[in-house]
Amino acid sequence: MPEYAITILGLDLTFRTNVPEQRINQAVDLIHERFKKLEERGGTMSKERLLTYLALSLADDYLHDQEKLQQHEQVVHKLLSKIDDLEK
């Protein structure tokens, strides 16, 4: 398993993962981009508060995507059921 040493928002991190390096770089870029936007709007908020808002934003995105995935899975299931019914 490859080891990575990265810096995110001034914090040095070292970890091992099977995730491709490109995806790690995309994740780091996303965090930096979102943090910068929050920082611009947040004024004099502490870094901890901005990171908390960032975590909430990413969690909300994840939950929204999970909901969309579930909806798509239901549509696929219904379509497969219709196909099965036609084959009978």
Q: Using N-to-C axis directions, what is the helix angle for 21-42 and 47-87, rounded to 10°?
A: 130
In angstroms, the first-to-last Cα distance of the chain is 48
Inter-residue contact 84 to 64 (CB < 8 Å):
no
Q: In 3-state terms, what secondary structure has residue 38? A: helix
As a whole number of angstroms, the distance between CA 59 and CA 53 comes to: 10
Predicted TM-score of the model (pTM): 0.79
Residues 25-76 pLDDT 10s: 999 999 999 999 999 998 889 999 999 999 999 999 999 999 999 999 999 9
As a whole number of angstroms, the distance between CA 13 and CA 18 comes to: 16
As a whole number of angstroms, the distance between CA 6 and CA 29 comes to: 11
Q: What is the pLDDT confidence band of residue 88, given thresholds at 50, 70 and 90?
A: confident
Q: What is the pLDDT of residue 42?
A: 82
